[in-house]
Amino acid sequence: MNLFRVVSWVFLFITVPPYVVSDNVSRPDFVHIGAIFTFDSTIGKVAKIAMEEAVKDVNANDSILNGTKLVLTMQNSNCSGFVGMVQALRFMETDVIGIIGPQSSVVAHIISHVANELQVPLLSFAATDPTLSSLQFPFFVRTTMDDSYQMTAVAEIVDYYGWKEVIAIFVDEDYGRNGVSALDDQLAARRCRISYKAGISSGPGVDRGEIMDLLVKVALMQSRIIVLHVNPDSGFMVFRVAQYLGMTGEGYVWIATDWLSSVLDSTSLPSETMDVMQGVLVLRQHTPDSNRKRTFLSRWNKLTSGSLGLHSYGLYAYDSVWLLAYAIDAFFNQGGIISFSNDSRIHDVERGNLNLEAMSIFDNGTLLLKNILQSNFVGLTGPMKFNSEKSLVSPAYDVINVVGTGIRIVGYWSNYSGLSIVPPETLYAKPPNRSSSNQQLHSVIWPGETLSKPRGWVFPNNGKQLRIGVPLRISYHEFVSPVQGTDMFKGFCIDVFTAAVSLLPYAVPYHFVPFGNGHENPSYTELVNLITTGYFDGAVGDIAIVTNRTKIVDFTQPYAASGLVVVAPFKKTKSGGWSFLRPFTPLMWIVTTSFFFFIGIVVWILEHRINDEFRGPPKQQIITILWFSLSTLFFAHRENTMSTLGRLVVIIWLFVVLIINSSYTASLTSILTVQQLSSPINGIDSLKSSDEPIGYQVGSFAERYLTEDIGISKSRLVALGSPEAYATALQRGPEKGGVAAIVDERPYVESFLSTQCTFRIVGQEFTRSGWGFAFPRDSPLAVDFSTAILQLSENGELQRIHDKWLVRSACSLDTAEIDSDRLRFKSFWGLFLICGIACIIALSIYFLQIVLKLRHSSPTDQPASSNVSSVSGRFQRFLSLMDGKEERSISNGSRKRSQRSLEDEVGRQSKRIQFNFNTK
């Protein structure tokens, strides 16, 4: 038995990994961890005390590490990547199994390579560069939130207030460049953008002259939304220079990342420093309120005597120590042993005096890293838990407004629900709601002490004039035309533009640039395309707002209604001998006639069994049906309806007849008394179905619309350049090399018809659009011009400009659209539908009554020869029952009343005879 136990223990020792063996053998008395950060920085001052307190709390807690004590060694990186790398290499010469830090993203990039090589986990509580990927640096663990979340919050704030462009000022290092790159991506996802990026040096000695030159350039630009992603030294210098240049007043928006909230939380700034930051929006890493956090804050205040505040990075530094302690405890519980081995690749390197052989690989570093990433506890900052991407779960930020001598929280942002005025931890219990209506922030006091949301941009004050493209037309000069001998233009569109400019709250320097060769109307699509290339800053003229153009530029509110119509020659028609047929279309005649006979048949069916007037020989019944149905046209039917269902059908049908009669009479009166105009073209549908040539205006979008949207062959289209060419082509017609009709926009057509009284608009307007001014995508000018155009419309100025240039002549006032005035079925289908439904319901009820009587009737009542059990027999009984005369049962009371009535009548007749006799 003892031999069996020995063999079993030997077998377990050989087959079970060493970290599964009892942890009492592998637990040392001390575990060494390191920390690298800048001691005298805003973050470092707080982090140093926080980590020291965390080590004390861990060592004083008997429930963790089971007697093993943490020994924390701190090294100062002095914000230098080189110094940080040297300090990291020093740690690698010792038995340090984990490093907390570094604080700088630049340093993190460098020493992450060392951590990967020697398999020592690197826990950074302040390196927020989003490019520090866990794929590239598997031993780098970020115990705070990276800047991709912070930049998402900034982008959603920008989008929430409706701004489209921002200016990014950043420190020119990995932290600043990569953070702004993340902001650019997030803004692009919301159709916003960074219009200008300005980097400043990252050294401790910030040059005021450099920042002065930078902000002067920014002040000359259009955007007034400035995102400041820098370090405290350069950030405060930017604010001071901005105040000197007048850039912290009304109209500007400053959004600072969490570098500023760290300073505000940890240091009491002098009043003159707070004055330059009034109205600034600041982001701060959100840490949920809890009893443990409040207790630690109280302890912190006693520890520092209120001289140093505790910011979120200090809280993350504290939790990082606990995170590493929990991971080490789990590491020991799994039998992990702290051991190191030499790296053969280092020993093969020509070492010189670098003492590289002292550095060794942490053998069980992968196991410790696994325990770190599997940690799940609640710290001072909330849940310390990692997702599949090795990032902390539930990232969130506070949105802070600097006001007076302090700050106020105006809302929160979380990756779960976006912007809200409710703390994120409250929303985690509800389903996520990222709808725009659910995004909320409290009111903000903006720079200049105003509650009004800044517009976010002004016209750039850099002396540059806008290049406004104007089509150089050769026809319809009342809309747009050049002023001879000058570079100016005149016309309806130009007057609307200049009137709108005068209503803008800022000056807009511009000059018109003609577009076209002066020999034919230019292509408006090409004009719009030149805006996208930057050749033009906008386009003014009779530019139709159509789908393919709105995809590449932004248009203002339409200032003139437009749409494609068909113009065709017409002739005056006189009434003839068959004019009485013209009020109805052929389909209307067919449907109306069919319903007359249908109603006659329905009424005959409903009345045949009980009404003697609807009985008799077949020939007589057919005549009765025809007579009854046609006589209802004049309400002259003499046959009485006795059934309830029959009366219901007749009442509804008479109402339909009344409407049809009235409409027919009105239409026929119009045809016989009013001069009629006719055209072989009835609209775009008849034009499409024919093969005749169609005219259009050179440069108009009508060509693309007719070919691509309508499907008309391009070979049928004829380009025309002037109203005179319109008239000539229409007068010639297809037979003489002209066109059957012209398709053009309504404003041009109305101008053309004001002098050409032999043509008319036929059919209806088959597109709905308008004319607007075009600007580049996301240009604020489009929004402000739209507001100005609406003001022109409301105060009547737009109508006055229209009347000035586009007053119609007497001829144009008579240009009623030619459309068939015949009554169509589509105008009456509702009436016929109601009547048809009534007939179907009445017939259904009637046949149901017949079927019920058929079931209750005795088979012996039928002829003996009929086979009642067969289908044909049942059908014969059904027909017999329908054709048979219904014998109405009369009650005794009714018989008595009839008998009394008969006796009274006989008595009255005898009295009359006696009276007549006596008189004689």
CATH of the domain at 86: 3.40.50.2300
Whether 505 maps to a domain, the answer reads: yes
Residues 39 and 130 occupy one common structural domain: yes
Residues 773 and 755 occupy one common structural domain: no
Cα-Cα-Cα-Cα torsion 229, 232, 234, 238, nearest 10 degrees, comes to 70
Cα-Cα-Cα-Cα torsion 643, 649, 653, 655, nearest 10 degrees, comes to 90
Residues 185 and 216 occupy one common structural domain: yes
pLDDT tens digits for range 731-781: 888 888 899 899 999 899 888 888 887 888 887 888 888 999 999 988 888
Whether 818 maps to a domain, the answer reads: no
Confidence of residue 115 (pLDDT cuts 50, 70, 90): confident
Q: How many CB atoms lie within 10 A of CB 463?
A: 7
Residues 554 and 568 occupy one common structural domain: no
Whether 259 has a pLDDT exceeding 90, the answer reads yes
From the number of C-beta atoms within 10 Å of its C-beta (0-12, 13-18, 19+), residue 197 rates as: middle
Whether 335 maps to a domain, the answer reads: yes
Q: What is the mean pLDDT of the chain?
A: 82
pLDDT tens digits for range 393-415: 999 999 999 999 899 999 999 99
Decide which of 628, 648, 673 is a domain's last residue. Answer: 673
DSSP letter for 283, please.
E
Residues 123 and 36 occupy one common structural domain: yes
Give me the mean pLDDT over the 189-208 stretch. 85
- Residue 602, amino acid: V
Confidence of residue 870 (pLDDT cuts 50, 70, 90): low
Whether 717 maps to a domain, the answer reads: yes
Decide which of 622, 657, 673 is a domain's last residue. Answer: 673
Q: Higher pLDDT residue, 236 or 877?
A: 236
Whether 895 maps to a domain, the answer reads: no
pLDDT of 347: 53
DSSP letter for 379, please.
E
Helix 42-60 with 291-304: angle, nearest 10 deg:
110
pLDDT of 440: 93
- Give yes or no for a contact between 462 and 432, defined as CB atoms under 8 angstroms apart: no
H or E segment to which residue 254 belongs: strand 253-256
Residues 505 and 630 occupy one common structural domain: no
Residues 218 and 108 occupy one common structural domain: no
Residues 712 and 761 occupy one common structural domain: yes
Whether 25 maps to a domain, the answer reads: no
| % pLDDT > 70, the chain | 82
Confidence of residue 532 (pLDDT cuts 50, 70, 90): very high
Instruction: Give Cα separations from 109 to 81, 100, 140, 220 (angstroms).
Output: 9, 14, 9, 36
Whether 877 maps to a domain, the answer reads: no
Whether 521 has a pLDDT exceeding 50, the answer reads yes
Decide which of 642, 673, 704 is a domain's last residue. Answer: 673
Residues 490 and 517 occupy one common structural domain: yes
Confidence of residue 900 (pLDDT cuts 50, 70, 90): very low
Residues 283 and 329 occupy one common structural domain: no
Residues 717 and 667 occupy one common structural domain: no
Instruction: Give Cα separations from 726 to 508, 695, 730, 732 (angstroms).
Output: 39, 8, 6, 10
Whether 667 has a pLDDT exceeding 60, the answer reads yes
CATH of the domain at 735: 3.40.190.10
Look up the domain containing 480 and give its range.
Answer: 460-561+769-812
Model-wide pTM > 0.85: no
H or E segment to which residue 780 belongs: helix 780-794
Per-residue tokens: 779: 């240009």
Tally of domains in the chain: 5
Confidence of residue 145 (pLDDT cuts 50, 70, 90): very high
Whether 916 maps to a domain, the answer reads: no
Give me the mean pLDDT over the 558-584 stretch. 77
Residues 112 and 52 occupy one common structural domain: yes
